[in-house]
Structure 1
């Protein structure tokens, strides 16, 4: 992120220094990390009208596109997260969430490998919006706008599959994606109108799905979903559950969706698409059965195509992990910035750091025996060998590196898997050591 351009060399230089500082301690507050003069300079930087999230994020986006070139298929996973701040002090430009606190929403597009490894490749786009009593625009429009911004980055459309959860269920968005030739997988939230026969008789989607036969059965590990501090709407959409191994049936059909009466007449009257139904067989007593209805542009004639499409949708969970890295590993919601403009700029600065934490943890879990160089630079690995609490093996793996970094953050192996905060602290220590190591090497002391 050292080559961002703001039309002022001083701003670019200041951003480079900030990135170096914040990457060393992603979970620390600005006052505890920066000197008084550095803190004042940081606040001026974030509040400068010439500094924008797009300019800050641009170098990372270019690096993400470069990583995508080696991938036959890339999943562009879209999702929105709520960023909440305590009500102690009024921040300008933010909305309110329920009865207390202030909030705004961030919509990210995360690039993930589509080859089954789910390797996070980086952030492609970021937008934000505020919801308040005066909001009149359609929030669904932002999904389509972000798809188009990703499209103009230059990645070949046939290599990118857009993946969205139920918030992406919008007829206008479906029409836009089809018209532009985009590939997509979107989970449906609504029981939409469909044509029941060649004469155009009207029916509901659930009636068409009732005739879908299972052509494949898979066992899938479902992660636990605690109630947490989520809104009633989120708890309704995503009920709390215990983790379990679920047996899922898969089937598909083609449907013709009818344009809802609430949609503009300029949109096509009908859209012909494939729908995949995924439902749980024999759920545990007292647990709601899993069921996904996925709308797609993709062919699903074979069992292989069907299972691949379901796996692409399941990769959507990576963006949820990215949000955890951002909120917990980088402690974003604890930032004491006084207005929305500054908070948006800070968000863009932390997004690549959150991606690095996500890459480190996800790859160490997915392929623990791969070389440590898959998640660390040669210099980082060299420094880790010197300062790790426990000596690294000669052929260190990604798992070895992951645990060694967490150890720098205070993690003890007997305590189970490291959390985001511990990993963030360990990564902070590693980058601090790397900076000192590089400086010593420059003056010939190493």
Structure 2
């Protein structure tokens, strides 16, 4: 999928009908399960996180597939209206210092059933979709055991009492944007308590481009404090405390540009926040959620176009999405590796034969001056990314715009042909 930038089985098979049949049989094999595919996500990641502070990002994306009233492909309802598909909930690991993507940690892929469910409040956590936030974080602790520290980051949907009460440990912290105006143990609510605290600092922050807004700068005011959120009265889960003491950080945009909705984030965390420098660090870590949004874009419209798949059953589509998630992360790692900030090995993405191909291709891009040569250590992922970007049309000059996903997809398409040819170099042709 990475080398052919597609999830289409016919294109993956490169014209070989027998290979297309093999791919189809693989996805249809009962011994190949979504759970086993997802379990393999974290194998290289567990080694890559050793000795690092890791930001573990969770989020959910709805994957929509075309259906007809007579053929729903066994898919469930998503979104509002006549939309059918499945859901992907991954956790990504980033290096907290460099922002480099270290790989997938775990998650879920599932299709909603058609049966009617009891009201949400009357169901235990084990019967709710929201259990994915807790289960994914709990499973991540084993995968990320070699990290020095983990900060699990969620958006507002991951803000509920069970998360705060069950998950934190000495080296495992939580950070989430607030959804609920939590009741506090001493009376009142979190938002009311925050509103009584004066703003203590201001700063201009760069906001990255998102699907619903362009990139821009925002002048933000900041305040922070501590609060003990109270256990909800209707919560039936046993062995949970009556309250959890957390730190909160709020940033607001008092004077947004004309016609722009002002930014307002209220963030909860288990990290200590004693100074405004600590508080700005919390904001900076939360901003890294942008990476998982980019991951979904690579999965869908700006990369693998997984929603275009014509597979006819939900069971096979679930497996395809789980495999495509791994491919999307590899593309992201190539894009990020261009900076050379994180010296991960090229073997994280490429096979030994493909690394041999890259070594041969580097001779083509040696350049006449030092500034035109590959500046990264041979065998590193940054070294490989530099070559792939050059194959995609990037000129390599520091003054040029850094190569993006499209450049890397073009470079990978070129590299695929080179790698196929290089693999035949020792084949005897009569």
TM-score range, shorter chain: 0.7 to 0.9
Q: What residue is the counterpart of 1:12 in the other structure?
A: none
2:76 alignment partner, one of 81, 94, 98: 94
Between the aligned partners of 2:384 and 2:150, the Cα distance in structure 1 is: 31
Q: Does 1:46 align with 2:27?
A: yes
Q: What's 2:162 paired with?
A: 172
Q: What's the secondary structure of 1:298's corresponding residue? A: coil
Structure 1 residue 373: Cα displacement: 7.4
Q: 1:345 to 1:370 in 2, by over 3 A?
A: closer
Q: What residue in structure 1 maps to residue 173 of structure 2? A: 183
TM-score normalised according to structure 2 size: 0.82
8 A Cα contact 1:389 1:407, kept in partner: no
Q: Is the 8 A contact 1:371 1:396 kept in 2?
A: no
Greater helix content? 1
Are positions 1:333 and 2:312 aligned together? no
Report what 1:287 is aligned to. 260
Q: State the partner residue of 1:426.
A: 411
Which residue of the other structure, out of 190, 208, 231, is the alignment partner of 1:223?
A: 208
Following the alignment from structure 1 to structure 2, what is the Cα–Cα distance between the partners of residues 113 and 371?
A: 12
The aligned residue for residue 30 of structure 1 is 9
Aligned twin of 1:9: none
Match of 2:65 in 1: 85
Q: Which residue of 1 aligns with 2:359?
A: 382
Aligned: 1:119 with 2:100: yes
Q: Distance in 2 between matches of 1:251 and 1:383?
A: 55
Cα-to-partner distance string for 1:383-430 (whole Å, 9 max, x where unaligned): 4435679999323469997576356457899x9776645532421331
Matches within 5 A, 1:241-320: 241-264=213-236, 266=238, 267-320=240-293
Q: 1:280 to 1:33 in 2, by over 3 A?
A: same
Contact 1:92/1:340 (8 A) holds in 2: yes
State the Cα deviation string for residues 257-306 of structure 1 (Å, max 9, x = none). 12223322633222211111122242112222111111111001033322
Q: CA deviation at 1:162?
A: 0.6
Bigger shift: residues 240-249 or 402-411: 402-411
Contact 2:62 2:79 in 1 (8 A): no
Distance 1:65 1:269, change over 3 A: same
- The match for 2:196 among 197, 211, 234 is 211
Whole-angstrom distance in 1 between the partners of 2:82 and 2:390: 38
State which drifts further: 61-70 or 424-433. 424-433
SS at match of 2:236: coil
Is 1:405 aligned with 2:382?
no
Q: Is the Cα contact below 8 Å between 1:372 and 1:399 reproduced in 2?
A: yes
Q: Deviations over 1:71-123 (max 9, x none)?
A: 2x0111111111111125431243354333421111000010011x1000000
**In 1, Cα distance between the equivalents of 2:147 and 2:393?**
44
Q: 2:130 aligns with which of 114, 128, 140?
A: 140
Aligned CA-pair RMSD: 3.4
Q: In 1, are the aligned partners of 2:50 and 2:148 still within 8 Å (CA)?
A: no
Shift of 1:369: 8.5
Structure 1 residues 155 and 399: CA distance shift in structure 2, 3 A = closer
TM-score normalised by structure 1 residue count: 0.79
Confirm or deny: 8 A CA contact 1:68 1:74 kept in the other structure: yes
